[in-house]
Amino acid sequence: MDGLVATRMIRSLEAEHKAEDEERQRLNSGNDDQASKGQSTAEGEGASSCVFKPTRNPNRIPIVGLSADIQHATKEKCIKAGMDEYMTKPLLTQGLAILIQRYCCE
């Protein structure tokens, strides 16, 4: 399986999961008050702050294409398939660090 096919499959699964979540929320919308009573939250006493703070949809996995192909058409194919970014080889550490920061940090 190549990266384009894998990306399409991942995005399809994410869409299914999102639809299931929306349906679950719709069905439970009347139970919000009951569900919130008596439950503790991570913001309570003694809770530690989380280092990982995604700046994008947490239900969407960031996908970065990596190839030696520098043609613009290849990048367009990857983005159209659902990849978030596209990098070419040789991979520069600084560029990778910037991408990781973009998708994982505030």
Return the ∠ at Cα 73 (arms to 67 and 58), rounded to 5°. Answer: 65
Assess if CATH 1.10.10.10 describes domain 3-26+52-104: no
> Phi/psi of residue 86, each to 5°?
-140, 125
pLDDT band at 21 (very low <50, low <70, confident <90, very high): confident
Whole-angstrom Cα distance, residue 61 to residue 67? 19
Q: Which of 14-18, 19-23, 45-49, 65-69 is predicted least confidently?
A: 45-49
The pLDDT, as a whole number, for residue 33 is: 52
The Cα 51–Cα 22 span in angstroms is 27
- For 64-88, write each residue's pLDDT tens digit: 999 999 999 999 999 999 999 999 9
What is the C-alpha separation between 26 and 20, in angstroms, rounded? 10
In angstroms, the CA 55 to CA 3 distance is 24
Q: Is the pLDDT of residue 15 over 80?
A: yes
* Residue 30: pLDDT band with limits 50, 70, 90: low
